[in-house]
């Protein structure tokens, strides 16, 4: 019995040791394999596909933004873990390179899976496609569905084809807000609005049952010029009247995205599109036009993706003792690090400091594409720009889709401000509201009592706002507003009274902002760079775009993604956690109300 017991004990020990050995061996094998894959990706040069005689396919699947951001914490942000980013300047360079490339017989475009930072970005890309067509390059659009933004792009093509049971829909701009005053009343929640500026409408949905006339008028003043510019581009691209586009938008809506047969019939009849082709028909059409790809395993035409074509583009790096630094503030202005949709002040001030501490930096261009946000975060960015000016470095601001509220605030140190014709700017005001729940507490039968050593020491959102506290909250908003007015008046060399007339939380389209002196000149980032060079009398200079600085490990992950086209798939459980985080942020914003330099109603959605 003792022998048997000893034998099985030995067997158990052997199996345990064997299990650990096999587990460690397997782990080591996997680790070595992973390291070899990484080394292979890093040292191997990606294959450069021949572009001669190939149709260039431009079909971005992701967001067109001013500055790419690599999210360091991608595993905990499911919303954009695998979303591709395309920098506007890179896409423009690609389109311009194709226009000058005689080896490329045609360009096939499909922007149906592309989103844009805003309407100005979309308009600028459409103008580049228009210039591509006018260069004599054949531009072909083929889609199974087209929305407002993707049709804006497709309409610039030499010819435009849609699948027979696809959809063409131009819905235009604007939308309906949900006004929730009655909801809060039914829930017995008091909403106290301390916003500064008659046009500051960010909190209207919480305090009104309908849109105010001020908000209606300023929305019309913004949307109509942008919509007219888009209609003009669409109509010009198709050689039709803008009224045809308007009639199409008014009477033919494609909510479902497929089998919109009536829309397609109207579009064909009125030259909104050239016609329809199924996928096999279009493939054969392209083979007939451009020849069969002899190297392909299946019958198709010779083509090259825009990602492969980028490898052919000769990017000449200019080295100079003179540097113009471009720093991008894109998204909501908040404390913390830069991430997608967030202009993180902590990271931006590091970029600004890095730029002005470089001896060869002659000017800093702040590219603003933000509707504003936190007051303290806006102050942090502004302070760092002023520190750069103390070193005799010129600050030039280039406003993109949006530079409103906090976007204006961080622009105040500028020596010169450019805005695009359709930039949305202004909204000089303060958004500040406090919900209180005293009626809810009273309804459920809860009373508060206790001892405090100061008058309002025990106050929280569950209690009413008395007259003294009301005066304090009014002064908070008013003081922040006066400070905002002062900085803008100082920046624009106008009196505070003159700025008050154009402030009041009102938003302006770029051309109007230029007319009233909020910006100095209409132009884009290229004009801003040229101005900075001329301002400093630079005969030669290099442009440095600052972005999120990555660790070596993060650079490996990014290169793995790019070279191996690896898409980071996030488990569904993390998606759920991401949603819970968003919900938690909402509750925190209610528990800790803040005054903001924000203009979220400035955003214009493109379908």
CATH of the domain at 560: 3.90.226.10
The total domain count for the chain is 1
pLDDT surpasses 50 at 8: no
pLDDT surpasses 90 at 23: no
To the query of whether residue 558 is one of the catalytic residues in this protein, the response is no
- Domain-embedded: residue 455: yes
Residues 6+ apart with CB under 8 A from 436: 189, 190, 192, 461, 462, 463, 464, 465
- Domain-embedded: residue 330: yes
Q: What is the length of the chain?
A: 607
- What's the confidence (pLDDT) of residue 580? 45
Backbone angles phi, psi at 74, to 5 degrees: -60, -30
Higher pLDDT: 167 or 571? It is 167
**Per the residue annotation, which of 200, 231, 302, 362 is the catalytic one?**
200
**Per the residue annotation, which of 155, 195, 398, 405 is the catalytic one?**
405
Is residue 148 within 8 A of residue 230, CB to CB? The reply is yes
The predicted-structure confidence for 383-395, as pLDDT tens digits, reads as follows 999 999 999 999 9
User: Domain range spanning residue 546?
Assistant: 323-602
Q: In angstroms, rounded to a whole number, what is the distance separating the alpha carbons of residues 392 and 515?
A: 29
pLDDT surpasses 90 at 516: yes
DSSP helix, strand, coil percent of the chain (3-state; round to 5)? 45, 20, 35
Is residue 204 within 8 A of residue 215, CB to CB? The reply is yes
Average pLDDT over residues 372-382: 94
pLDDT surpasses 50 at 167: yes
Strand, coil or helix: 385: helix
> Could you tell me the two tokens for 238?
């198709």
Percent of the chain, pLDDT > 90? 57
At residue 307 the predicted structure's pLDDT band, cuts being 50, 70 and 90, is: very high
- Domain-embedded: residue 436: yes
- Domain-embedded: residue 96: no
pLDDT surpasses 50 at 566: no
Entry pTM: 0.85
Q: Is the dihedral of CA 459, 463, 465, 466 positive or negative?
A: negative
Helices (H), 341-401: 345-357, 375-389
Q: In angstroms, rounded to a whole number, what is the distance separating the alpha carbons of residues 519 and 540?
A: 27
- What's the confidence (pLDDT) of residue 495? 95
- What's the confidence (pLDDT) of residue 204? 85
The predicted-structure confidence for 313-335, as pLDDT tens digits, reads as follows 877 667 888 999 999 999 999 99
At residue 587 the predicted structure's pLDDT band, cuts being 50, 70 and 90, is: very low
To the query of whether residue 575 is one of the catalytic residues in this protein, the response is no
Average pLDDT score over the chain: 85
> Could you tell me the two tokens for 492?
């624009």
- What's the confidence (pLDDT) of residue 207? 84
- Domain-embedded: residue 246: no
Average pLDDT over residues 250-277: 86
At residue 511 the predicted structure's pLDDT band, cuts being 50, 70 and 90, is: very high
Higher pLDDT: 356 or 70? It is 356
Q: In angstroms, rounded to a whole number, what is the distance separating the alpha carbons of residues 151 and 233?
A: 10
- What's the confidence (pLDDT) of residue 78? 43
pLDDT surpasses 70 at 36: no
pLDDT surpasses 60 at 46: no
- What's the confidence (pLDDT) of residue 129? 98
pLDDT surpasses 80 at 607: no
pLDDT surpasses 50 at 573: no
- Domain-embedded: residue 80: no
User: At how many degrees (to 10) do helices 213-238 and 119-134 cross?
Assistant: 10
- Indicate the range of 13-22, 103-112, 319-328, 355-364 predicted with least confidence: 13-22
- What's the confidence (pLDDT) of residue 190? 87
Q: What angle do CA 476, 482, 486 make, to 5 degrees?
A: 145
At residue 339 the predicted structure's pLDDT band, cuts being 50, 70 and 90, is: confident
Higher pLDDT: 284 or 82? It is 284
- What's the confidence (pLDDT) of residue 595? 67
The predicted-structure confidence for 430-483, as pLDDT tens digits, reads as follows 988 888 888 988 888 988 888 989 988 888 888 899 999 999 989 988 999 999
| DSSP-derived pairing of the beta strands 394-404 and 361-370 | parallel
Q: In angstroms, rounded to a whole number, what is the distance separating the alpha carbons of residues 290 and 303?
A: 9
- What's the confidence (pLDDT) of residue 19? 59
- What's the confidence (pLDDT) of residue 455? 87
- Domain-embedded: residue 446: yes
Is residue 269 within 8 A of residue 251, CB to CB? The reply is no
């Amino acid at each position: 019995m003792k022998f048997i017991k000893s034998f099985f004990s030995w067997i158990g020990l052997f199996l345990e040791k064997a299990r650990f050995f096999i587990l460690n061996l397997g782990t080591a094998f996997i680790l070595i394999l992973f390291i070899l894959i990484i080394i292979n990706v890093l040292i191997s040069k990606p294959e450069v596909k021949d572009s001669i005689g190939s149709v260039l396919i431009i079909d971005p699947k992701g967001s067109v933004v001013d500055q790419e951001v690599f999210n360091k914490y991608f595993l905990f942000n499911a919303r954009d873990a695998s979303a591709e980013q395309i920098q506007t300047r890179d896409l423009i360079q690609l389109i311009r390179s194709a226009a000058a490339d005689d080896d490329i017989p045609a360009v096939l475009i499909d922007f149906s899976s592309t989103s844009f930072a805003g309407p100005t970005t979309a308009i600028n890309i459409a103008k580049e496609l228009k210039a591509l067509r006018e260069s004599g390059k054949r531009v072909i659009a083929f889609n199974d569905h087209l929305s407002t933004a993707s049709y804006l792009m497709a309409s610039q093509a030499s010819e435009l084809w849609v699948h027979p049971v696809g959809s063409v829909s131009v819905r235009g701009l604007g939308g309906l807000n949900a006004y929730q005053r009655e909801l809060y009343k039914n829930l017995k929640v008091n909403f106290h609005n301390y916003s500064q500026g008659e046009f500051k409408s960010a909190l209207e949905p919480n305090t009104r049952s309908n849109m105010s006339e001020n908000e209606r008028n300023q929305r019309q003043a913004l949307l109509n010029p942008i919509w007219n510019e888009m209609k003009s581009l669409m109509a010009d691209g198709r050689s039709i009247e803008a009224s045809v586009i308007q009639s199409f938008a008014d009477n033919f809506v494609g909510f479902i995205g497929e089998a919109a047969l009536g829309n397609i019939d109207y579009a064909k009849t009125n030259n909104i599109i050239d016609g329809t082709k199924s996928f096999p028909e279009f493939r054969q059409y392209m083979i007939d036009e451009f020849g069969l790809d002899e190297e392909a395993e299946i019958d198709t035409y010779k083509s090259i993706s825009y990602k492969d074509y980028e490898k052919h583009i000769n990017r000449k790096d200019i080295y100079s003792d003179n540097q113009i630094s471009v720093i991008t503030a894109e998204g909501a202005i908040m404390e913390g690090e830069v991430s997608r949709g967030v202009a993180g002040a902590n990271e931006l001030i590091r970029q600004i400091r890095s730029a002005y501490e470089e001896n060869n930096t002659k000017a800093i261009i702040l590219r603003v594409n933000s509707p504003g946000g936190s007051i303290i975060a806006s102050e942090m960015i502004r302070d760092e720009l002023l520190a750069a000016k103390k070193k005799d470095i010129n600050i030039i601001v280039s406003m993109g889709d949006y530079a409103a509220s906090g976007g204006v605030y961080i622009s105040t140190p500028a020596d010169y401000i450019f805005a695009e014709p359709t930039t949305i700017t202004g909204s000089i005001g303060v958004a500040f509201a406090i919900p209180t729940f005293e009626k809810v507490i009273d309804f459920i039968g809860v009373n508060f009592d206790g001892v405090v050593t100061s008058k309002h020491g025990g106050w929280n959102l569950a209690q009413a706002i008395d007259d003294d506290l009301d005066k304090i909250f009014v002064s908070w908003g008013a003081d922040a507003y006066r400070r905002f007015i002062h900085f803008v008046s100082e920046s624009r060399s106008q009196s505070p009274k003159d700025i008050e007339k154009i402030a009041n939380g009102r938003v302006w389209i770029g051309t109007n902002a230029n007319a009233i002196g909020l910006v100095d000149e209409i132009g884009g980032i290229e004009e801003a760079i040229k101005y900075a060079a001329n301002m400093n009398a630079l005969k030669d200079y290099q442009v440095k775009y600052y972005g999120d600085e990555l660790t070596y490990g993060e650079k490996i992950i990014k290169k793995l993604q790019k070279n191996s086209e690896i898409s980071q798939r996030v488990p569904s459980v993390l998606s759920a956690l991401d949603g819970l985080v968003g919900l938690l942020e909402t509750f925190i914003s209610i528990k800790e109300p803040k005054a903001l330099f924000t203009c979220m109603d400035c955003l214009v959605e493109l379908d």
